[in-house]
Structure formats: C-alpha cells, structure tokens
Amino acid sequence: MANLISYNLLNSTDIDFFLEILPPECVKTDKNSLEAAAKDYTEDLSFLPAIVLLPRETQEVAAIMKHCFHRNLPVTPRGAGTGLSGGALPVYGGVVLAMAKMNQVLHLDENNLQVSVQPGIITQQLQELVETKGLFYPPDPSSRGSSFIGGNLAESSGGPRAVKYGVSKDYVLNLEVVLPNGTIMETGAKVLKNATGYNLTQLMVGSEGTLGIITRIDLKLIPLPKMNWLMLVPFVSPEKACEAVSAVFRAGLCPSALEFMEREGIVFTLKYRSDLSFPLPDEAKAMLLIEVDGNSEEELMNQCEGITHVLDSFAPSDIWMATSASEKEALWKVRRAIGEAVKSHSIYKEEDTVVPRFQLPALLQKVKELGKTYGFESVCYGHAGDGNLHVNIIRGNLSQEAWENELPKAIRELFAYVKSLGGTLSGEHGIGWVQKNYMDIALSPTALTLMRGIKKLFDPTGILNPGKIFPDEEV
C-alpha cells in the first residue's frame, strides 16, 4: 500500500498551542482517549491518533485547522464513531477532531419548519426534540441512538425510512463548514430551492470529512405523521421476498419502510441476543418488515390492504400486523440488532451494496454463489425498498490467507456484478477506508480524477481525513 503523503508528527509545541485555545478537558493525550478514538464500528480495525481534540464552537475548529494546516498535521474528524466504512479511523495518526462537545440545537424555527444544529447532536435526540413540536426529521440509520447528525451527513446515511422520505442528504439546506486551511464558509442558504451556483452543499454531504469540517447544519423538517403500523411477512424463499418488494412499489404503494432479512440473519441474532424474540416459522426463509405511516387509521388500513393484496400473489406463509408501540418496537429491535449481533460474535466484513430494487433477487443469489465458491458464510439484510442490501461476510473458518487474499477477489466479483446490474458500492455507509480500493469498479478513471481534483481544490495539502475514499495509487 503506497503512502504518497508525508505529514509532520505532533510535538509539544502543538499541544501547547491546543491548550491555549481549548481548556484541558478538551485536549486528550491519555491512553484511554487515544484508544477510544483509534476505532469506529468497522471490522476490527484500529489506528492510534497522537491527540484527540474536542472543540466546542466553530471558531475553535477554525483555529485548530489553521494550526494543523500550517504544521502539516493530519486531521481526522470524528462523530460518534458508529461508521461502518472506517471513515473516522485516523489511519495516519495525528489529530482526531472529535465533535462530541458541539452538540447544541442552535435554533428550532417552527415558522419555517427548519432546525439549525451543531454536528455533534445525537440523531435520535434531535428527532425526539423536533417531535415534541409535531415535526419530523425522518432519516433513521440503525445507529441513530448514538450516531451524530454530522457523521450521518458526512456519510450520506440513510435508514429504513429512506424508502419514503429520502436519506439525510435530502434534508440539508445549508452547511457551515471549516475548510482545511481554517476558513469558515457557508455552502448554501436556508431555502427549500436553490439554483445559485454549484451545489456545494451536496458536494460536502457524503464527502466523508475529506473536504471540510461540518460545524453547523440547517435542516428542513416536515410535519410528523400521526401514526404508523408494521407488518411482518415471512416468505418461502429470499427471492420471492425480493420480488414482492418490487411489486409493492409497482402497484403504486409507498410504505414508510420496507426491510428485508434473510432467515440466517434472524437466527444469528436470536442466538446471540437471548433477550429478543421474534416469530420465525419453519418455512420462512426470509422476512419482510413493512411499515406504513399516515394521519388516520383509515389511511393506514387502505395502505395495508393494498400491500396485502400485492403480497398474496407471492404466497407469504402468513402476515402479522403490529399496531401497538411495544409490538412494533419488539420487531424493530431484532431488525436493528442484526448488524450488531454479527459484529459482536464474529470477525466479518460488511458490504453496503445497492442496485435498482428489481435486481435484488439476482444480487442475493450472486452473494450466495460467491459464498459457495470462496467458502464464506454470509448474513444478508437491509433496505430492500431502496435496493440496498447489507452483505455481512462472516470470517467463520476461513484461513487468514483466504480472508486476506482470497476474499478481496470475491468482493471484487460481487461489486463488478453489482455494477453490471446498474448498482454501486455503497448506498449509505460510504467508502471510507475499507472500500476505497474497489472504487475503480464503480467509477471511471475520469470520474475518479475529477473527484481527486475536487479533493485537491478543497484540501491542497491533503491533511483532512487522509487515506479515505480514493484508491491507493501505484508508486
């Protein structure tokens, strides 16, 4: 792996500078803090930084960046560290810029249905806050109980509700960002439509902290739907389940979530989470979890009837309906716990494949074929309504040699197939550190060259989140 960039090492003068602009509790060099910032939720990867800084406001971020820019110190921004592609890993050491103390709601504008927040607020806290005013911030990554809104935007996160409401990028009106050289800039305006120059806002969203540090976010909100119901539908084959997904949309229905779980994923989860329970009939080889929302029981009933009618032709073995909060939560808990269960109990790699949704059955079949060829087990689940399938590849009995050298070949085959279906590498987890060497499959050399040019434009010396998104170059 080539490292073409070289950085300075942190010295005591740097630490003195940081202690001048930040109080001691915001400048961390102790072992525990460094070790905590060395990892995110990605596989078992770990890279120790030299220091962790916790700015409290934009001006502090600007001062830190200005210093690091002049000193040529690598800076890795960090939200809650729940990322699944290694975006927050400080792979070149240096400074971790942790946004945990920038967690304020700056302005909840009920007149305009907007909210301005700092990046370090936990997504679910933000959601609960606006819900008290009858407002709704729909994007709901599984990590929303701990992930930060800033990290959600950096990775262009989605979640189950994306199928009806769009992903986090669709709610951003404007960003305040600090550029690598310390300049503070706004990308847009607090408006619902904007045709004023290039879309810097959407360029920043999903850039995985490689172009600038997000320090304020102006979000659009929508009215909160009054109620939702959840249907759980078992299928005799994963393929039938995936086909049904496409048919639901084709029939003009628009559920607020449409999640796919293969049997193995549920079994795996129940094995390691004895506190959870889930109805899993013997014949069920896959399950769909289908949520509908709206403002009246009538509306929900109409949608459920429409969906049931479509599903009937795919012979589900049964359809359960959850309408109480506790019943719904019990089902969602299992869905959300799958990734965690896999993570807790095996070394694994997660692929965030996304294809046009009608191609899901083909994608799933390919995953299983590759598993047979390369000898790996996989647990597949995800946002079927969006064509977004999370493929968890379990290390199991694979030799170190196979895991390190053979498996990447299988992943390349998988991504090449995804690409041939019209899909791409990541739907909502980003490229980060672990997928970057597959980027040549998804993007042409021209597109990659333009992206590198954009990176260079924003970050000429490459100090910001180095080692991410772009494939290693040959030396």
Q: Which two tokens stand for residue 316?
A: 């589900």
Determine how many CB atoms are found less than 10 A away from the CB of residue 295.
Answer: 12
Q: Min. distance of Cβ 308 from a second copy in angstroms?
A: 16
- The reply to whether 254 sits near a second copy by the rule CB under 8 A is yes
Whichever of 39 and 383 has its CB closer to a second copy, that residue is 383
Q: Min. distance of Cβ 358 from a second copy in angstroms?
A: 4
Judged by CB under 8 A, the chain residues 390 through 429 that form the site for a second copy are: 419, 422-429
Closest CA to 137 of 159, 106, 104, 111: 159
**13, 32, 196, 326: which one binds a second copy (CB under 8 A):** 196
Question: How far apart are the C-alpha atoms of 394 and 333, rounded to whole Å?
Answer: 21
Whichever of 264 and 459 has its CB closer to a second copy, that residue is 459
345 contacts 44 by C-beta, under 8 angstroms: no
Judged by CB under 8 A, the chain residues 291 through 320 that form the site for a second copy are: 295-296, 298-299, 302
Look-up of token digits 């005799």: 236
**113, 130, 232, 261: which one binds a second copy (CB under 8 A):** 113
Whichever of 282 and 298 has its CB closer to a second copy, that residue is 298
The full DSSP string for 26-90 is GEE-SHHHHHHTT--SSTT-----SEEE---SHHHHHHHHHHHHHHT--EEEESSS--SS-TT--
- The reply to whether 244 sits near a second copy by the rule CB under 8 A is no
**27, 51, 75, 469: which one binds a second copy (CB under 8 A):** 469
Judged by CB under 8 A, the chain residues 199 through 238 that form the site for a second copy are: 199-200, 202-203, 205-207, 211, 222-224
Question: How far apart are the C-alpha atoms of 87 and 79, rounded to whole Å?
Answer: 10
- The reply to whether 352 sits near a second copy by the rule CB under 8 A is yes
End-to-end CA distance of the chain: 9
* Radius of gyration, alpha carbons of the chain: 22
Q: Min. distance of Cβ 420 from a second copy in angstroms?
A: 11
**188, 209, 255, 339: which one binds a second copy (CB under 8 A):** 188
Q: Min. distance of Cβ 451 from a second copy in angstroms?
A: 5
Contacts of 270 (CB under 8 A, 6+ apart): 276, 277, 278, 280, 334
Whichever of 21 and 203 has its CB closer to a second copy, that residue is 203
Whichever of 13 and 196 has its CB closer to a second copy, that residue is 196
Q: Which two tokens stand for residue 105?
A: 């709601």
Element (H, E) at 309: helix 297-312
Q: Min. distance of Cβ 116 from a second copy in angstroms?
A: 10
Per-residue binding string, a second copy, 37-76, x by CB under 8 A, is ----------------------------------------
